Amino acid sequence: MTNLIMPHGSNELNTLYIEDELARASMLSAAAEMRTLEISSAAAANAVMLAAGYFNPLTGYMNKDDALRVSREMLTMDNLFWPVPIVNLTTDANSLDYTHGEEIALKDPNIEGNPVIAIQRVDNVEKLSDEDINIIVTNVFGTNDDNHPGVKTFKEQGRYIISGSIEVLNYSYFPSDFPDTFATAPQIREMLTKAGWSKTVAFQTRNPMHRAHEELCKMALDRLEADGVLIHMTLGKLKEGDIPGDVRDSAIRKMVEIYFPENTAIISGFGFDMMYAGPREALLHAVFRQNAGCTHLIVGRDHAGVGDYYEPFGAQDIFDQDVVKNSLKIEIFKADHTAYSKKLNEVVMMRDAKDHTKDDFVLLSGTKVREMLAAGQELPPEFARKEVAEILMAYYQKIG
């Protein structure tokens, strides 16, 4: 049997989803008598990640002390390494009436009718001050600028922080919207075991994969002598302008089907909203890929970044901090931008091509790519596989 890497912070993977159907039905029935709270999309995504074992070994939402210490030092009050606060924040001041030990039914904001997604046993309800919020966003996002999409989303969730353990009753809209792609951490471990992989490199994506991404995965496979690559995509909420999950899913599947050797790539996805938290989010990506059984994570230039908020290689450098090195078993594959070299007639890491100028590469901005696809123009074959470009073109022409 394949020996997989240990999960983060425990010997066994702890999922918070209630597997037993009768127990779930009984809890749903009990929820009808509880006080209810419609939670934010971010809190619902946290519930899904806790349910799926990705946020092992957490047992629920953090309190104010944990959130602040995690923001400052990347450690909980129990000295567990964790890179970002996992919280249930609300604008609802009535939440201050919740009593210690009370069970409340959390309602999903992302599904019509707002069904109950989880039951939370309340430990505490605390209020974050302006200073608390400033400490959290400045440390996690590197800025308190409201134009940063992650900062904006965090501040909009509210300032009442409800801590406590949760039991999760469903995975929100992810299994129905992405039936072939959404998978839990135990399911991915099962896939890796079945494939016979013990050394697996994870590739994080919120975009369709062009030639450069494809070759980067193959480079990592080759240089690490890995068994396979897990192409693991964000299925939750993205910022405006990003390509929807179903379109991205189709494009990636087509590329793997045609251009990857058999049994070298597994395509899957996880139910989380992008935070755009740069280096801190790269660490979170590493934590939950370790929980899913991966030994390596590809971390590239401006990983999980947005705009000019982060240093180009800040997401790689943060892994050199002692608290990270002493806590994570997963390792990173440090990547630079990859692009097609006209000189060498192949995709290379730009830092490896010392004798090249910018004009020696086929480089297209995201905006230029979108404009060409919307106009029905073919992308250069050095930039994108024809079959992938056709799927994207159909999408852009539809939204017109």
Q: What is the pLDDT of residues 309-323, one digit of tens each?
A: 999 999 999 999 999
Residue of 36, 40, 262 lying closest to 156 (CA atoms): 40
Mean pLDDT in residue range 271-292: 97
CATH for 180-399 is 3.40.50.620
Active site residue 56: no
Handedness of CA 25, 29, 32, 35 (dihedral sign): negative
pLDDT, tens only, 59-75: 999 999 999 999 999 99
Do the strands 331-334 and 296-299 form a parallel or antiparallel pair, or are they unpaired? parallel
Sequence spans of domains, the chain: 21-175, 180-399
Task: Look at residue 371 and tell me whether its pLDDT is greater than 90.
Answer: no
Spell out the residues 6+ positions from residue 176 whose beta carbon is closer than 8 angstroms to its own. none
Candidate list 24, 35, 159, 206, residue with the active-site label: 206
Q: Is residue 38 over pLDDT 70?
A: yes
Q: How far is Cα 207 from Cα 388, in angstroms, rounded to an integer?
A: 12
Residue pLDDT, tens place only, 194-212:
999 999 999 999 888 999 9
Mean pLDDT, rounded, of the chain: 95
Cα 213 from chain centroid?
17
**So what's the pLDDT on residue 365?**
78
Closest CA to 71 of 47, 55, 87: 87
Q: Would you say the CATH fold of 180-399 matches that of 21-175?
A: no
Report the pLDDT averaged over residues 118-142.
98
- Of 237-246, 290-299, 370-379, the poorest mean pLDDT is in 237-246
User: Predicted confidence band at 2 (pLDDT cuts at 50, 70, 90)?
Assistant: low
Omega into 179 within 30° of 0, i.e. cis?
no
DSSP element (H, E) containing 396: helix 386-399
pLDDT at 240: 73
pLDDT of residue 337: 86
Task: For domain 21-175, give the CATH superfamily.
Answer: Sulfate adenylyltransferase (3.10.400.10)
Catalytic (active site) residue 385: no
User: Can you tell me which residue has the tokens 């959130």?
Assistant: 67
User: Higher-confidence residue: 237 or 223?
Assistant: 223
Strands 116-121, 103-107: pairing kind: antiparallel
Question: Percent of the chain at pLDDT above 70?
Answer: 100
Q: What is the maximum alpha-carbon separation in the chain?
A: 70
pLDDT the model gives residue 85: 98
- The reply to whether the predicted model has a pTM over 0.85 is yes
Catalytic residue among 14, 207, 253, 370: 207
- Residue 259 has a pLDDT of 97
Q: Write the single-letter amino acid at 159.
A: R
| Among 31-40, 87-96, 266-275, 368-377, the least confident range | 368-377
Integer Cα distance of 246 and 231 in angstroms: 15
